[in-house]
Structure 1
């Protein structure tokens, strides 16, 4: 039965006592052409930074100082193939008003640091420890904004963490995983595993744009609260209110029970993602309500990302190095979320993904050309479950754990893989951040609905 991973047992280290020893810029290993790189309408709305942390245990043949040298050299080489990453995000000098990459070979940031702790002292790597902020450098120069910054932080035991910040306009999850695979290959003195496709014109809007579907999952820019022309505004704003964090762990057996319940209700081949997302949607929507009385007619809209590479005609290359995900949605009343069978909700999530055909995706891209909007819904499920960051085989071994640096947002629920990939299981951790009263409701509902699946 699903469990809660409590982050305060043992107490979290509040200060990792990190000292920065060196900050530099890594340039491409050879000259690359100066050019302006087109960004799709999907890229345009993703002008915000994403931080990931990759923890590694000690390796006898690869102490941290050797890793620093290998990683710096590999980054210099890979910037030749991903020249845009060494560039800068600017407003198109040609006057279109769009964001573009100025591929100017200005380089990426590289930081070397150390902690006074052993890696094992850090404790639970899964729980969102605020001290992990110290493992990622966000700014190296007030007057310059690299699209990527890498920080290697060594621990006293010989283990280390690689903290990576990238602007989301550079990569989605799948293309970032391929970037890491290529980086690991170059660090091992091997050729690239995937030749990146850097042609983002493949996701350009049609001329003229043709919006052929309604898009309730999108909101026009001038309808946003506190609207403005700042393209760097996040999809969901950070909140200043106090949030409780909890991680709900679902085992392979829990997920199998949920899938069986959905399939017994008529869903054909219920996937793990659709089933877990339906459970999370039910708990999140109902925890935000005022109780059963008077809440039945309230509508809840769930958002989640769908990879469109294989859904387009012709398909995008799998090595497309950019953002090739669009927002799918499902909407249900609180009455259906509370009293309806799980199979109904799983089918709605499944239908939201199935809706993302070539015609629908092209319509959504054209919608962005006309309205410059953002995703519109009650909350977003962001899945890192099967991206495979912990499967990347570096010369110094696979990560002990890989995760994003968690944001202070109650309207994004994250799905993470289990910490031990060697177990070859399909466990998933559901990270939820909510105000205390809503968290108590979420927790109660989570266990109630999970118990019903047994």
Structure 2
């Protein structure tokens, strides 16, 4: 099997990148854009928080940092024309109680920074380093809360990091990848936009009247109207004293889990034995059984995982749809079932959860949000950055050495993200944060169920 968990970096690893901010400005669209209010779907409404990613680039003698900074600044100005909402500001419509984006060309943040360290000196790019937050710290430099901030931090070696912070109401993973591809295309001298974004969020508007045709145990009703909570709690945000480890699965490990999923009897007609499904089933079982609770075998565990609904709707959404087109699928079972049933049955349940996400189910979930103003509700969320392909985007100065989210250690969120090498490596890293006693049990189960 693979390296079942990655050894934490040595304590001498750099914890403070000693960032020096050299400039912080607002960048505006290169052409005049129309002032308007942008409708946000019920999926967008619950995602009013910022997501940070960092994209590391090695030195390219043909593109020293000063040229990269100029190219990126110009590219951002150009993409703010088709992405006019990115230069806008979030507002609450008090008449409807809904969040909207005021497309008013107020601009996005652009920060230029430097560090005296080299890219190699900051250590393992895969292992989450709290210091990486310094590579996207620019959001605090602006008083009017831009919806996006770009930060270029140059390293002593000539390499650099592009840190991006965007409000999640703007993009899901797929549409953010499209933004990166468009940004890269505009950094070239003579390339057209890679993909024209589809900005019509009414495509995911609730029906009138709403028609909730399915039960939705994956969603939790809330009393306050959307937009009136100071910090909408998608999950319990308490971090507490958590240990965290990365469990690295190589392609042969994933193949082993797929073979294991083929044993144990007949499969459901909806079962797909994919890398994601077998990893989710394996992690779900370990997480549920590691819980330090009385009568744990009788407890029901629910795992949530994102499903892109673009191709599942009728008619399908454009692949270039800009907003959030992801809903939470779920699988639910007693811990006794997770412990006793063959692995194939767990994979069945995960696969069935995704197959449940038909056009009608997705529309029902969106309408549920119109009626109840709620949030995802489960024991934990498995959030996958594995196949998004951020590090496959080709800029004039090349592909990133590595692209990753800036992660927070959360007991209720388990992250999947790629190895260095991206899709070509076929490996996946599983980031888990748990209290010490639960982590010990999780690790033991992770190894035990690989047998």
Provide TM-score, normalisation by structure 1.
0.95
Which of 281, 286, 308 in structure 2 is aligned with 1:278?
281
Contact 2:170 2:323 in 1 (8 A): yes
Cα separation, 2, equivalents of 1:34 and 1:333 = 52
Deviation readout 1:123-146 (Å, 9 max, x if unpaired): 111111111111002534563010
Contact 2:98 2:227 in 1 (8 A): no
Contact 2:383 2:415 in 1 (8 A): yes
Structural mapping, 1:73-112, within 5 Å:
73-92=74-93, 95-112=95-112
Q: Report the alpha carbon displacement of residue 290 of structure 1 after superposing the two structures with TM.
A: 3.7
Q: Report the alpha carbon displacement of residue 231 of structure 1 after superposing the two structures with TM.
A: 6.4
Alignment match, 1:352: 353
Contact 1:25 1:108 in 2 (8 A): yes
Alignment match, 2:16: 15
Q: Secondary structure at the match of 2:165?
A: strand
Unaligned runs of 5+ in 1: none
Alignment match, 2:313: 312
Deviation readout 1:52-72 (Å, 9 max, x if unpaired): 000010001111111100000
Cα separation, 1, equivalents of 2:293 and 2:76 = 52
Q: Report the alpha carbon displacement of residue 242 of structure 1 after superposing the two structures with TM.
A: 1.2
Cα separation, 1, equivalents of 2:140 and 2:303 = 37
Cα separation, 1, equivalents of 2:227 and 2:397 = 46
Structural mapping, 1:32-431, within 5 Å:
32-92=33-93, 95-141=95-141, 143-189=143-189, 190-222=191-223, 229-230=228-229, 232-265=231-264, 266-267=266-267, 269-290=272-293, 294-421=295-422, 424-431=424-431
Cα separation, 2, equivalents of 1:125 and 1:10 = 15
Q: Secondary structure at the match of 1:32?
A: coil
Q: Report the alpha carbon displacement of residue 326 of structure 1 after superposing the two structures with TM.
A: 0.4
Change (3 A) 1:54 1:234: farther
Q: Report the alpha carbon displacement of residue 228 of structure 1 after superposing the two structures with TM.
A: 9.4
Q: Secondary structure at the match of 2:298?
A: coil
Cα separation, 2, equivalents of 1:48 and 1:317 = 25
Cα separation, 2, equivalents of 1:11 and 1:2 = 26
Contact 2:136 2:164 in 1 (8 A): yes
Q: Report the alpha carbon displacement of residue 237 of structure 1 after superposing the two structures with TM.
A: 3.1
Contact 1:47 1:231 in 2 (8 A): no
Mean Cα displacement is larger for which, 262-271 or 39-48?
Answer: 262-271
Contact 1:46 1:232 in 2 (8 A): no
Q: Secondary structure at the match of 1:348?
A: helix
Q: Report the alpha carbon displacement of residue 220 of structure 1 after superposing the two structures with TM.
A: 0.4
Q: Report the alpha carbon displacement of residue 97 of structure 1 after superposing the two structures with TM.
A: 1.2
Q: Secondary structure at the match of 1:151?
A: strand
Mean Cα displacement is larger for which, 259-268 or 370-379?
Answer: 259-268
Q: Secondary structure at the match of 1:80?
A: coil
Number of residue pairs matched by the alignment: 445
Mean Cα displacement is larger for which, 328-337 or 235-244?
Answer: 235-244
Q: Secondary structure at the match of 2:139?
A: coil
Contact 1:295 1:334 in 2 (8 A): yes
Contact 1:297 1:335 in 2 (8 A): yes
Q: Secondary structure at the match of 1:211?
A: coil
Mean Cα displacement is larger for which, 83-92 or 137-146?
Answer: 137-146
Q: Secondary structure at the match of 1:137?
A: helix
Unaligned runs of 5+ in 2: none
Contact 2:53 2:403 in 1 (8 A): yes
